[in-house]
């Protein structure tokens, strides 16, 4: 498929994240301070809530006021037929074949200077550990190369429940957490600000259609509404002391940032790719009937306060060992009900080489090999004032399906009133 | 405080769970099929939604339609002053000093035969591991008596995020889950119904007032709206294979049953008790400014299908090493926001003796010492058709603050369409 032309000229370049082929869904604050639903097109946002109010664009023939509150959650619950019909309507509205569409120009808002909001209400958040390079790297550091992968890793998309209340939209500052820390040579823990605060470069899959009981991998893929970039901020020192025997808890509860534009499965359809060959055959319930991973190029930059950004890693979503569909299927094996707005983090996406590693833990090898930035500064873990930015796109023939960016700046730890 | 007298005669006995001193909050289905809020009094339910509709009982002077949807969540978010004023109003309405109150009789519904519903919307669910006898028992089985307690256990109320969508009200059947199982002598896992399905006897604390940023133990205690009985159904064989390194996931996602009546902190005030002396001093932020645990007698019965129930364990909430207030405080250390409707499971409450153990894992010592029921049958883990019932009450002088019961019956595993 080539670049599809829009009457919004900025959407017709090979560099834009948001050509007519993409049409991702976000929420933004209007000049009046209201939350509205919008669709990104080039460097503009089409105001979907205003179009609905004026009767020019409805979520479906049966539903009204779906976009009234400026949140996509209700729409996500309407299911694949509504998603497809609505996407067709917007495509038609914004297509160059629709002429100049002067009646629509007043519904366009510039992206620059517009505040983006969380595009959906996170029902529950699950984070996985399904990137093999990441698991091998972390396992090698902690348990040595012989025991790098836990015995279950090749059989199960390992996941744990995260904290939905921690999920924030890109642009939200992230305050360095306090927590219990215990050095390897300390007898007892102390309560102090995290000294090994880190990022994790991930993709997030968003559940649209709810389920009860177990679903197949194909049904799971059908349930997914779309994808976002996701940064699972991680306090490594808190995690090291707390995580045995029941897993990470406060180490992962400070913040999880997501990019503001939900890129739909429909937009990514042409970029499907398969998970890798297996060294251990998967149990039948986890086997994929077709390609359910995506070829999405990813990068992360780090900018110290007031300084230029350095690209610290480049990787690709196709490095995952398990797809989001496999993760979602496994999530339902116990009979666990899934709901509209459930968010699934892929796990850290590291590639095979050092420059492909999606966390500072791996990039600095646990702090032993600090990273040198283009500014000359070094980093083992994040410092106050650092701004981290994730970007990603699927590269088409003369166009991109882009995700925009997922950014956050580290604020110093607050005063502790309770220590 | 003695038994307070109500004009509802069944509330005036020493045996009732629901005297005027208690007044727990629940939701029930009316004859018309609607969900209504209610307050338990003796063997009756006072229909709070109907009273609000008729203008006879308002949540506060500022709010109306708080109970319209038959759910207590909105009320829980109104805060301690509203909670106290509302409790005072209901106490007055139902007091014997109010005479026979003939105008209120039509708002009473018998508990017998009335379907109870989830009394609140679970925002997120966190389960802890904060009972020392349970942790020592489980640790001894898995790691030996020398290493029974993980090194962090005496410093941290260990917790993990559970799955809110798994929480169901007492009376909901629980279907035996499928999952990945791997025996100690097997090379590879298989996908099969859980063979070691278990209960966990716990208390649940419900967050009323939301928070952002870290709160103190006292502030955490103030945020708690009330308590329920909680059975954290657990698939031991699924857990054994999946839980390293990121903790329990599908093993805990089948169901978590809660009792239908939320017993308020106000009703339990006279039964506060302190957590035990510490063998390791807690970090200052976790130290309690006063007693924040409660003296609540607990029991669990097991009834095989069509047979009489056997009491398999008796214990007390005062066996906990960490209070819900300490758990909630720790939950916020990272800056994690807490919301109205967050549910915190205490962790399994086992006492010091064998007959005080709150799970079959402990009672049968991992299946090595099957339990003999009064019917002559034995149990290592749960069998299809078994009905488990938790009960609990605080014993006052001539009255009880009771929790009613938390019950669930095991259904056989479903057919697996995907294996």
Q: Which helix (H) or strand (E) holds A227?
A: strand A224-232
Partners of B178 on chain A (C-beta within 8 Å) are 214, 333-335
Measured in angstroms, the CA of B162 and the nearest CA of chain A are apart by 6
Tokens of A246: 């029941």
Measured in angstroms, the CA of A36 and the nearest CA of chain B are apart by 24
B417 known ligand binder: no
Contact with chain B for residue A253, Cβ under 8 A = yes
Contact with chain A for residue B180, Cβ under 8 A = yes
B252 known ligand binder: yes
Contact with chain A for residue B130, Cβ under 8 A = no
Measured in angstroms, the CA of A150 and the nearest CA of chain B are apart by 7
Measured in angstroms, the CA of B79 and the nearest CA of chain A are apart by 20
Residue with tokens 């605080």: B394
Question: pLDDT confidence of A229, banded at 50, 70, 90?
Answer: very high
Cα separation of B241 and B184, whole Å? Answer: 9
Question: pLDDT confidence of B143, banded at 50, 70, 90?
Answer: confident
Check whether domain A125-411 has CATH 3.40.50.2000, yes or no: no
Q: What is the pLDDT of residues B94-133, one digit of tens each?
A: 999 987 778 899 999 999 999 999 999 999 999 999 999 9
State the fold for domain A9-117: SH3 type barrels. (2.30.30)
Q: Residue range A362-372: average pLDDT?
A: 97
Tokens of B207: 């967050």
Starting at the edge strand found earlier in the chain, the sheet holding B25-29 runs B108-110, B44-47, B35-41, B25-29, B116-117
Catalytic residue among B134, B330, B331, B393: B134
Q: Residue range A41-70: average pLDDT?
A: 96
- Residue numbers of A between 106 and 125 with CB closer than 8 Å to B: 123-124
- % of residues, chain A, pLDDT over 70: 100
ipTM for the whole predicted complex goes beyond 0.95? yes
Query: B245, A158: Cβ pair inside 8 Å?
Result: yes
Question: pLDDT confidence of B419, banded at 50, 70, 90?
Answer: low
pLDDT at A120 over 90: yes
Q: Residue range B6-32: average pLDDT?
A: 98
Q: What is the pLDDT of residues A291-306, one digit of tens each?
A: 999 999 999 999 999 9
Cβ–Cβ contacts within 10 Å for residue B275, how many?
A: 21
pLDDT at A71 over 70: yes
Tokens of A100: 């100049």
The partner residue sitting opposite B419, judged by closest CB among A151, A280, A284, is A284
pLDDT at A98: 82
- Residue numbers of B between 50 and 69 with CB closer than 8 Å to A: none
The partner residue sitting opposite A152, judged by closest CB among B166, B241, B280, is B241
Please classify residue A155 by burial: count the beta carbons closer than 10 Å to its beta carbon, then call 0-12 exposed, 13-18 middle and 19+ buried. Answer: buried
- % of residues, chain A, pLDDT over 90: 95
- With contact defined as beta carbons under 8 Å apart, do B154 and B326 qualify? no
Tokens of A403: 């995700």
Question: pLDDT confidence of A343, banded at 50, 70, 90?
Answer: very high
pLDDT at B236: 98
B127 known ligand binder: yes
The partner residue sitting opposite B253, judged by closest CB among A213, A235, A336, is A336
Please classify residue B185 by burial: count the beta carbons closer than 10 Å to its beta carbon, then call 0-12 exposed, 13-18 middle and 19+ buried. Answer: exposed
Contact with chain B for residue A241, Cβ under 8 A = yes
pLDDT at A176: 98
Contact with chain A for residue B338, Cβ under 8 A = yes
A256 known ligand binder: yes
Q: Residue range B324-338: average pLDDT?
A: 98
* Of the candidates A44, A68, A33, the residue with the CA atom closest to the CA atom of residue A54: A68
For A340, which residue in chain B has the nearest alpha carbon? B165
Q: Using DSSP bridges, classify how beta strands B297-303 and B387-395 pair: parallel, antiparallel or unpaired.
A: antiparallel
Interface test with A, best of B161, B337, B419 (most A CBs within 10 A): B161
Partners of A158 on chain B (C-beta within 8 Å) are 242, 245-246, 249
Query: B334, A285: Cβ pair inside 8 Å?
Result: no
pLDDT at A419: 62
Tokens of A388: 């981290």
pLDDT at B18 over 90: yes
Sign of CA dihedral B143, B144, B150, B153: positive
Q: What is the mean pLDDT of chain A?
A: 97
Query: A124, B124: Cβ pair inside 8 Å?
Result: yes
Cβ–Cβ contacts within 10 Å for residue A314, how many?
A: 17
Catalytic residue among A134, A330, A331, A393: A134
- Residue numbers of A between 280 and 299 with CB closer than 8 Å to B: 280, 283-285
Domain-wise residue ranges, chain B: 9-117, 125-411
Cα separation of A384 and A413, whole Å? Answer: 8
In the A/B pair of chains, how many CB contacts fall below 8 A?
Answer: 201
Compare A62 and A194 and report the one with higher pLDDT.
A194
Partners of B166 on chain A (C-beta within 8 Å) are 336-337
The reply to whether A9-117 and A125-411 are identical in fold is no
pLDDT at B86 over 90: yes
pLDDT at A416: 80
Tokens of A12: 């017709």
CA atoms within 13 A on the CB side of B152: 24
pLDDT at B263 over 90: yes
Contact with chain B for residue A249, Cβ under 8 A = yes
- With contact defined as beta carbons under 8 Å apart, do A382 and A312 qualify? no
Where are the alpha helices (H) located in A7-101, listed in sequence order? Answer: 48-53, 73-76, 80-94
Cα separation of A200 and A359, whole Å? Answer: 5
pLDDT at B138: 95
pLDDT at B417 over 80: no
Measured in angstroms, the CA of B337 and the nearest CA of chain A are apart by 6
Catalytic, A134? Answer yes
Which residues have CB under 8 Å from B166's CB, separation 6+?
Answer: A336, A337, B125, B252, B253, B254, B255, B256
């Amino acid at each position: 498929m080539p670049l599809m032309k829009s009457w919004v000229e900025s959407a017709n370049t090979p560099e834009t994240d948001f050509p007519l082929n993409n049409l991702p869904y976000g929420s933004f604050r209007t000049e009046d301070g209201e939350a509205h639903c919008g669709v990104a097109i080039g460097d503009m946002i089409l105001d979907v809530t205003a179009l609905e109010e004026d009767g020019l664009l409805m979520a479906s023939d049966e539903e009204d006021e779906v976009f009234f509150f400026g949140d996509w959650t209700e729409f996500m619950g309407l299911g694949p037929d509504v998603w497809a019909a609505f996407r067709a309507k917007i495509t038609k509205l914004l297509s160059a074949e629709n002429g100049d569409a002067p009646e629509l120009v007043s519904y366009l808002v510039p992206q620059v200077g517009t505040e983006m909001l969380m595009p959906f209400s996170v029902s529950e958040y699950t984070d996985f550990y399904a990137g093999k390079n990441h698991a091998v790297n972390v396992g090698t550091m902690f348990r040595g190369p012989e025991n790098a992968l836990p015995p279950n890793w090749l059989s199960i998309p390992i996941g744990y429940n995260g904290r939905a209340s921690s999920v924030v939209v890109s642009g939200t500052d992230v305050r360095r957490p306090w927590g219990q820390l215990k050095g390897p040579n300390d007898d007892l823990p102390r309560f102090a600000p995290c000294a090994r605060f880190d990022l994790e470069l991930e993709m997030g899959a968003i559940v649209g259609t709810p389920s009860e009981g177990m679903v197949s991998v194909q049904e799971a893929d059908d349930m997914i509404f779309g994808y976002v970039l996701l940064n699972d901020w991680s306090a490594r020192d808190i995690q090291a002391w707390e995580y045995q025997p029941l897993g990470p808890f406060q180490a992962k509860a400070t913040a999880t940032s997501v990019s503001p534009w939900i890129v739909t499965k429909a937009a990514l359809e042409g970029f499907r790719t398969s998970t890798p060959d297996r060294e251990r055959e998967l149990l039948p319930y986890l086997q994929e009937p077709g390609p359910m991973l995506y070829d999405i190029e990813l990068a992360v930059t780090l900018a110290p306060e007031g300084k230029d950004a350095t690209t610290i890693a480049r990787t690709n979503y196709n490095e995952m060992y398990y797809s989001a569909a496999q993760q979602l299927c496994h999530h339902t094996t116990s009979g666990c009900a899934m709901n509209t707005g459930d968010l699934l983090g892929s796990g850290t996406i590291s590639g095979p080489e050092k420059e492909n590693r999606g966390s500072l833990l791996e990039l600095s090898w646990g702090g032993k090999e600090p990273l040198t930035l283009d500014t000359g500064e070094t980093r083992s873990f994040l410092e106050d004032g650092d701004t981290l930015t994730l970007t990603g796109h699927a590269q088409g023939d003369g166009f991109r399906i882009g995700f925009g960016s997922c950014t956050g700046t580290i604020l110093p730890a607050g005063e502790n009133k309770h220590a």
